[in-house]
Amino acid sequence: MAYNKAKEEKKWRLWKEAEETQMRKLGVDESTIETLRTHDWAIFNSDRRYYQRMQETGTYLEGVAEDTTQPEIKTVDDFLDSIENQRLYQVLIKVDRLTLQAILLQLQGFSVAEIALLLDMKEDAVYKRLGRLKQKIKKIMG
């Protein structure tokens, strides 16, 4: 949520007025109240600058993240090209295309039932293929 200086300043002023009213009831002299007001205002401005910078940094980082997003993986070859871990890559290039297609569909959010329909397989076959590959990866990756 964006930092709203006017809203925060209004909250600060209401808080400060209530505090000063309380201090006057307790008999604190006006010069001390004014000194505290000046000090608190400096802190408020420091905080405001911090929150505005944080907001600007967040906006900048969101823009950088959007610029560096990975291209969408649509094919098995794209999937294999995206693998950076060499040991994992060596395991996956030895796997049959049908299993790789099942993995790719699973990464794209398809359920096992949907994968089975798309690849014209039984659900049990999909589970077995994914399970076997998982075991291979666990064995190699430790």
- Residue 46 confidence (pLDDT): 84
Q: Residue 114 belongs to a domain with what CATH number?
A: 1.10.10
For the chain, give the percent of residues with pLDDT over 70: 85
Q: Among 67, 85, 119, which residue terminates a domain?
A: 67
Please state, rounded to an integer, the average pLDDT across all residues of the chain: 83
Q: What average pLDDT does this structure show over 35-55?
A: 84
Q: What pTM was estimated for this model as a whole? A: 0.49
Q: Is the pLDDT of residue 58 over 80?
A: no
Domain match, 80 and 136 both: yes
Q: Which residues contact 52 (CB under 8 A, 6 or more apart)?
A: 3, 5
Domain match, 109 and 92 both: yes
* Segments forming the whole domain that contains residue 32: 5-67
Domain match, 114 and 61 both: no
What's the rounded Cα separation, in Å, for the pair 7 and 1? 13
Domain match, 60 and 102 both: no
Number of domains in the chain: 2
